[in-house]
Every structure is written in C-alpha cells, then in structure tokens.
Amino acid sequence: MARLLGGLLLVVLAVTLLPGDWPAVDSGLTQSAFAQGAAKTETATAGIAAPKLTPDDYPRIAGVNGRIVVWLVAQLHLWFAAFVLAVPIFVFIIEAIGMSTRDKRYDDMAYEFIKISIAAYSLTAILGGFLVFSLIIFYPHVIQYLGAIFKDTMFYYALLFFLESAALYLYYYGWQWLQGGFRKWVHLTLGLVLNAAGTMLMFLANGWLTFMMSPAGIDPGGIFTGDVWTALHNHLWNPINIHRMVANVAYGGSIVGAYAAFKFLAATRAEERAHYDWMGYTANFIAISALLPLPFAGYYLAAEIYAYSQQMGITLMGGIFAWLFIIQAVLIGTLFLSANYYLWCGMARSEGAARYNRYIKYLAFVIVAAFLVWFTPHTLVLTNEELKALGGPYHKYLGPLGIMPAKNTAVNVMILFTALSFLIYRRANRIAMVGWAKAGNAVQVALFSAGIANIFFLGIYHGYFTNTVYKVASSIPQVITTLVVIAASIVIDAMMYRGAKEVAPLRWGRVPERAQYALFLLAVAFTWLMGLMGYIRSGIRQHWHVVGVFRDNSPDAFTPTLGYAANVVSVGTIIFMAMVIFVFWLSQVSAVKTTPAGFWKEQAS
Amino acid sequence: MRNFAAVLLFSLVTIGFFTWFSNFGIPQVDPAPPPKEEKLDLGAMTMEQFTALGERVYKGKGTCTLCHSALGGRAPLLQEAGAISKERLADERYKGEAEDMAGYLYESMVKPSAFVVEGFGKAGSSDTVSPMPDVSGGSVGLSDAEMKSVVAYLQKLGGYEITVEIPKDAVPETEEEATSRAPFKTAEAAIAEFACGACHKVAGEEGEVGPDLRKIGRLRDRSYLRRSILDPNAEISKGFEKDQMPADYGEQMYAKELEMIVEYLAALK
C-alpha cells in the first residue's frame, strides 16, 4: 500500500510541482541566482540554465545536517531498491526452472524468496518518498533544475510505480491461484511485466544521476538545450545501468542467503535445515554468478568515466579517492573469500567430496595471494624513519604490484579460481561416465593453464614494458580470456557430467554452522561495499551538483575524508540491517497463529 | 535468541572492522576545499603577479598537473613547451591557426586537438584527438585572463620572453584555489613537515637517500636550489638516483615557504 501511496505522491509532485512554475522556496535565493537560471526553465528549446547559488540558498533546519540526511536516506533507498529489483529477477528464473523441470521445490523456493522481498517493497517506497522530501527541503533548486529537464521522465516514473505495484501484488498474492497449465504461463508473464517495470524504473533514475556526472545536451555557455532523451542518454547512463543490474542480482542473492542462513541456524528439524541449506546454497550460487562479471562491469564503468573526462577519471583512481580502492580491495577480497569458503564448507554434504579436499588449500592460497596483490597500495604513507629504512616512497619489490595491471591480473586470477572452486564443488559427489572424460579433463586443465598464462603475459607486458597510457590496455583481453575459460569449462563440464554416476548422496543440511556465517559476511560486506561505492560515485562530482554546469555552493560542498564517509556508511549499514531484520521477522510473524484461550465470546461460552 | 545475538554480534564486529580499517588502516587525506570565488583586479597587476597567477591556476584550478606531470605520464611535460612550439607550428600534422608561441600555447588549451603529441592521443584516434578537455568550459572553466596567465607562466618556465599581454579591458570574475592550512612560519617547520630530513642530512636529521645538505649553500646558488625542489630530476647529483624525490613539492608548498626553504639552504655554509 505504501508503494502505491509513494507512486501517487510522485505523480502529484511531477504534475504540480516540478515544471518551471514551482513556487520558490523562501530560502533567501537572490535575484541574480536565477537571473539566467530558473526564470528560463520553461522549455527545452529556450534552454535551461543552472542557477548560481549562494550558501543562503540552501535551507537549513536547526541541528540537522541536510547533506547527511540526503546521503543516508538515498543510500537506504538504494539498498532496498537494489534488493527488491533483484529478487524478482531470480524468482522469475527459478520459477521458470521449476516450470520446465516440474520440480515443485523450485516453485516453493521462488515463492519464499518473493515473500521475503514483499515487505521490503513498502520500505523502498517509504524511503523513496522520504528522499524526495529531503531533496525538496535541503536542495530545492537542485531538484527544481533537474525537474525542469527531466519532468517527463519523472511523470512516467511515477506511473511505472503503479504498473510495478500492480504486477507485484498480482504476482505474489496470485501465486497459489495461478498454478498449473495456462494459469502458470499467466503467472510467469506477470513476473516478466514486474521485472520489465522495475528495470525501466531503475534506468530512469539512473539517467537523472548520471546526468549529474556526465551532463549531455549542454551548450558551451552551460545552457541545457537538448531534449529529455539527450539528457537521459548521457555518456555514463548505460555503463551505470549495466553495473547496477549485475550488482543488484549479486546483492539480492547475498541478502536472501543471509535470510536462509539465519533460518538454518534457527531450524530445529532436519527437514528444515535441509530446506534452508538448499536455499542458502542457491542464493550463494546466484550471488557468485553475478559477482564474477561484476568487476568487469566496474572496469567498463571506470573506463567510460575516463573516456568522458580524463580529469574525473584521475580524481577517481589516482587522486584523492585512490586510497578508497584499497578499502574496496579488502571488501571484495572478503566477498570472494567468504563465497569460496561457503562452497568449500558445502563439500561436507557428500562423502564423495573427500577426493577433492586436498586441492582446497591450493585454491585458498591463490585466492589469498591474488587478494594481497589487489590490496597492495602503490604509494605508501610512511613516517620519516620508515621512509629512511625503505629508501624511498615505493617498496623495491612490492611497489610494482601497486599499479593497475598487477591488480587486473590478480582479480582475473581470483575470478578464475572462484570458478574452479565451483567446478570442483559441482563434481564433488559424481563421476563422469562419458568415454571422453579423461580428454575432457585434460582440455579443462589446458584451458585454465593457457588462460592463466595469457593473463599473466598481458598484465606483465602491458604493465611494465609499455607507455603509461597503455598500462590498462591489457584489461580487455584479460577479461575476454577469463570469460572464455569460464564459459568453455562450464560447457565441457555440463556435457561431461550428463548422466554421471553419484559416488555418494548429497545430504542437504549436513553443513557446518560456520558456513552460515560466511553467508552473513557476504551480505554485510556487500551492503557496506555498496555504500562505499555510492560515496565515490557521488563524490567524484566534487563541488558540482551537475559537473561543470551547476556548482554546489552549499556549506557542505567539501569532499569528506574516507574515514568520515566510512562512518556514515557504517551507520547506514546498521540502520539497513536493523530494517532488514524487521522485514525478515515480518515474513515470519505472518505465519504465526496465537489462539487466546477464553478471549472471544464463542470460546468463553 | 542465542543465534540472533551471535549473528548480530558477528555483523557488528564485521562493520566495526571495516570502519576501523577505513579510519586507521589508510591515510586520511583531507581533500582540498572547493575553489573560492574572488575578484581579480587585473588593471593593477604587474607581469610578475600575472605570471604567479598563471602558476597558481596551472597547479590549482586548472588541474593541469593531474596529467602534465612526471608522476602521471598521461600528457607531455610542459617545461619545454615554449621551445617545442616552433616545431609544432611547422609540423604537417598541426591543424590550428596559431602563429607564434603564445598563440600556440593558448590554442592548446581551448583546442587541444589542434596538435596531439605522438603517443598521447585518445585510444583509437591515431593521435588525432586529444583526451584533454577545452579548459575554458566544463568543470575547469578558466577565463580568458586565467588562460593567458598560464601562457605567461609557461613562457617563464621555459626561460623565454613573456609575450602575452595582461588583459586590461575587463575585470573578470575568477577563482583561485583555496587552501586548507596555514603556511608554516619558519623554514625549519616547513622542512620538518615536508620530511626533507627523511632523505637528506638537514635541520638535525640524518637521511641518507639524498645528498647531504648541511653545507649546500657553499656549493649551490638560490636558483639551483629552487629548481631542485620544484623539479628534482632536472639535475641529479653524482652517486644518487633519479625519481627518488617527490616531484610535487611545487604543488604542496606555498611560494613563501619555498622561498624560506631556499633562503635557509643558501645560508648553510
């Protein structure tokens, strides 16, 4: 219901407030501020100029920091939105798998997934409304400027809310009603509509924020003269769309995994444990599947940021934000290690896995080594004594590991070995029966060996034997190598293990409890990482609302330090986790029935 | 309930670790505050002040050193830009309209693709398109006067006669990089802060990576010392290696601090 109200609120806002005649907020906005600006916000053809604001043009509320409020609320909205956009994607896929295999377990699990997210929808809408109000209160001229450019999309955004909500409610409440035959097809179609509406919503919102980073349709005088499509289809729109789409799926998987882990720990019956173990495994599988291409989507986004503005790219990777990527390395290392650890623990489900246990230590060693390379900073921060002892600002041997080609090599190796972990897990309790099994294994070993050799060659050649501008040129062929090796190995594996013999049964539920903590770690690290990357995405605009066009002159226009940002992200993560626990509890409490003895008339008599 | 408490504790410890690492595991660099708007009275400016303005713009608001520096290696170094401009104007790949050094330098800022130095073009453009933005617009947004001041600075940097004129007919609104710290009051304080003693023997410190500076005033004059701080690789003393000293002290120090350190070193005899 809150989602419908949220949609209604946005429609009202879009229709009545956002066009140019929006009543001015009494904030002491000077005449000159809008001399060329808001007065011209009527039509795109006349041009829309950004106002020049003064600190007094930003309304204040005593004791409240507007920027932190907007920051936290936007981040909370984004976390929930990512979750509720992602869950229907894999619910749709799992439902389709259940439909095609006629295995009801898939259908039940898909239903349980969507049940978890249903309460989160309301919270997403409430936080979206809170965000709109926060922006109107603290940054009225910014939202007025963006509203003047994007009013059409904001209107359709609000309408899409209705479509998405209707599709969601029908999809969820009609799950048991629309079962079997044609009805199931109708239900699956509803899932498709739900996903299409959700994705379009995200793309529209992405257009607004990427316009602030890479504005399009701006003339040399800083006036917006383009149309709404030009503004939406700006340079960073698609890179962000792709990155968010992939990240959302990985994130959704990790949150559902945490839910399953909690239920597993709380389960008292063996069947319950088996069910939630399977659910946790599936969620982790979804998270890993999306986690593997995620660094590539990130590199694509960073490359496009460079292509749009070298200055912005350097600020991002080599300037004041450079150290943030060391924190990011710790977080991504945590994600990969916890996802792999969960897989290795999962090998306890079958006695057949014992054959592969001896390889785990090597996998762990390589993944940790790759993480440490990624973690190595280029420039060290040292005291005088340390600098003297080291003989310079760079370490003689570790310094070369601090540059991007070394890190690109490390992350590709980490991804390949994670894929290898998964392949080993898949075959843990089975033996291939096809005649060419030996040859298939040899091809897989050759593929991995050649792929790793190529990744190292590209990284070393481009990183240390070419000009600086070509240093990152190795990243694309490295990515292609990794993807080809993974795709080819999975195809060979799938064919090789068709009709394979089971060595020992896979016993769902027989997994150590510590494996569940790996799932929690995955969810917490992912949430925190998203918050951190949200800070940098927004932070690289520095003192601009819209880069190069609309300057931020508020008292909070400064770029905060990483520690300050981390504290805000941590507070946000704790609030988010508390809200998620509430959502999980809601999904549980709805199934609990209490019969009060002697309370109702009928019982009393 | 026990599980809930354990999970809660585990999550809080994880968040606590990330927070701790971000606050204490990495250096806390205070980003420069946003550039401050101020009015410049160009009419009352001497050429020396105008050139100094150019240096500030070059190292600050213009963000030129992000790419035009030995560390980044993403764009050509500009110390010799004045001398090379003659060759560029005569090069058949040159697509601009400039006729002299000052015109070429100015044009490079507003039409960077007029001539792209080999190896510094956008990927796939065969060095016909420069990755550098037009600095008169976008987020850099230099005014005409600011760009001319940069030309004056670059001419001075190369040791050439400054041919660009200070614009007199307009008093443009300009911006200057604001600074976040107060300047050091003594050369000793500046030397301690910039950690010169980590590598050099100076001011009571016993660094061994760089040359001994305890009697440097006997051997070198002020201009040599100044250049050694601003461009450490310009000349390397025998027995020492290149690229050991940070090349960005010119960006970190105020002009006054630089001069204080130069005077201090020149007096060490």
Mean pLDDT of A320-336: 86
Question: Is residue A96 in a domain?
Answer: yes
Whether pLDDT at B176 is above 80: no
Question: Is residue A270 in a domain?
Answer: no
Strand partners for B38? B174
Question: Is residue A170 in a domain?
Answer: yes
Of A505, A538, A573, at which residue does a domain stop?
A505
Of A505, A528, A556, at which residue does a domain stop?
A505
State the nearest Cα–Cα gap between A414 and chain B, in angstroms. 21
CB pair distance less than 8 Å for A577 and B11: yes
Percent of chain A clearing pLDDT 90 (strictly above): 53
Give CA–CA dist A179/A107, Å, rounded.
Answer: 10
CB pair distance less than 8 Å for B74 and A520: no
Whether pLDDT at A28 is above 90: no
> Which of A266, A521, A552 is opposite residue B3, by nearest beta carbon?
A266
Question: Is residue A398 in a domain?
Answer: yes
Per-residue burial over A294-310, b = 16 or more CB atoms within 10 Å of its CB, e = otherwise: bbbbbbbbbbbbbbbbb
Residue type, A495: M
Among the listed residues A242, A333, A300, A605, the one whose alpha carbon sits nearest the alpha carbon of residue A475: A300
Which residues of chain A make contact with B120, given a CB cutoff of 8 A? Answer: 469
| pLDDT tens by residue, B200-233 | 878 766 666 678 888 888 888 888 888 888 888 8
CB pair distance less than 8 Å for A309 and B133: yes
Structure tokens at A262: 């909690």
Question: Is residue A29 in a domain?
Answer: no
Percent of chain A clearing pLDDT 70 (strictly above): 87
Which residues of chain A make contact with B27, given a CB cutoff of 8 A? Answer: 323, 381
SS (HEC) of A55-70 = HHHCCCECCECHHHHH
> pTM of this prediction?
0.75
Which residues of chain A make contact with B28, given a CB cutoff of 8 A? Answer: 561-563
Least confident of A267-276, A320-329, A368-377: A320-329
State the nearest Cα–Cα gap between A570 and chain B, in angstroms. 6
Interface residue of A264, A310, A530 to substitute, partner B, most B CBs within 10 Å: A310
CB pair distance less than 8 Å for A559 and B35: no
Cβ pairs bridging A and B (under 8 Å): 146
Domains B36-176 and B187-266 share a fold: yes
State the nearest Cα–Cα gap between B123 and chain A, in angstroms. 9
Give CA–CA dist A194/B58, Å, rounded.
Answer: 53
Q: How large is the angle between the packed helices A324-346 and A404-426, nearest 10 degrees?
A: 10
Which residue has tokens 């201090």? B264
pLDDT of residue B62: 80
Pair B242, B233: CB distance under 8 Å: yes
Q: Identify the domain containing residue A180 by its residue range.
A: 1-19+84-220
CA A198 to chain centre: 15
Alpha helical stretches, state H, A381-436: 384-390, 404-426
CB pair distance less than 8 Å for B137 and A222: yes
> How does residue A6 score in pLDDT terms, banded at 50, 70 and 90?
low
CB pair distance less than 8 Å for B22 and A327: yes
Question: Is residue A591 in a domain?
Answer: no
pLDDT of residue B174: 45
Q: Determine which helix (DSSP H) or strand (DSSP E) holds B201, and give its type and residue range.
A: strand B201-202
CB pair distance less than 8 Å for B209 and A326: no
Give CA–CA dist A344/A483, Å, rounded.
Answer: 23
Task: Give me the architecture of the B36-176 domain, per CATH.
Answer: Orthogonal Bundle (1.10)
Domain ranges of chain B: 36-176, 187-266
Question: Is domain B187-266 given the CATH code 1.10.760.10 in the classification?
Answer: yes
| pLDDT tens by residue, B79-132 | 777 778 888 888 888 888 888 888 899 999 989 989 988 878 877 777 888 888
CB pair distance less than 8 Å for B29 and A320: yes
> How does residue B71 score in pLDDT terms, banded at 50, 70 and 90?
low
ipTM of the complex as predicted: 0.84
Pair B148, B166: CB distance under 8 Å: yes
Which residues of chain B make contact with A473, given a CB cutoff of 8 A? Answer: 123
pLDDT of residue A468: 60
| pLDDT tens by residue, A273-308 | 999 999 999 999 999 889 888 888 988 898 899 888
Question: Is residue A30 in a domain?
Answer: no
Mark whether A357 and A214 lie in a shared domain: no
Those residues with Cβ within 8 angstroms of residue A48's Cβ, 6 or more apart along the chain or in another chain = A40, A41, A145, A148, A149, A223, A224
Q: Determine which helix (DSSP H) or strand (DSSP E) holds B137, and give its type and residue range.
A: none
CB pair distance less than 8 Å for B22 and A543: no
Whether pLDDT at B171 is above 50: no
Question: Is residue A57 in a domain?
Answer: no
Of A505, A529, A551, at which residue does a domain stop?
A505
- What's the mean per-residue pLDDT of chain B? 80
What's the structural domain count of chain A? 2
State the nearest Cα–Cα gap between A592 and chain B, in angstroms. 17
| pLDDT tens by residue, A248-265 | 999 999 999 999 999 999
